[in-house]
Amino acid sequence: TSFKIFKVVFIIALLFSVSSCKNEDNLLQADLELGTGTLSGNPRSGLRVTVYTSEEDAENEVNRYTSTKITNSDGFAFFYDLEPGFRYWVRVNTVLINNINRSRILRVGLNDMRMTIL
C-alpha cells in the first residue's frame, strides 16, 4: 500500500512539473510595446501597426509575423509572445506615409519602441 501511495504522489508530482514547464515557456517570450507620436509628442491613435521579420516583407506587406493592431487613444499598440533574440520590422500605416522601422533585438519580457509619425 505504501508503494501505491508513492506511485500516486509520483504521478501527481510529474504532472505538476510538466504543466509548470509549459508556463515557463510562455515566460520566455518577448512582448513589444510600440508608442507612436508626432514631432511635438502628441500620441497618434487609430494607426494600423504590423510586425514583420524582414524589411522587404514590411515594404511589400507580405508574410506578416503578427496580426495587425490599431494604436489606442494614447498612441500605443501591444504585441505579445514574440520570439526574443531577434529584430523585427514594424510598419505603421498612415493616410499619407507608411513608416517602417527596425526594432532592437528583443529580450525576454517587455520591450518598448517609439516611432515618430509625421
pLDDT tens-place string over residues 56-110: 999 999 999 999 999 999 999 999 999 999 999 999 998 888 899 999 999 999 9
Query: 48 or 4: whose pLDDT is higher?
Result: 48
pLDDT tens-place string over residues 1-38: 666 676 666 677 666 655 544 444 556 899 999 999 99
Long-range pairs for 55-63: beta carbons < 8 A, 24 or more residues apart:
55/89, 55/100, 55/102, 57/89, 58/89, 58/90, 58/91, 58/100, 59/100, 61/91
pTM: 0.74
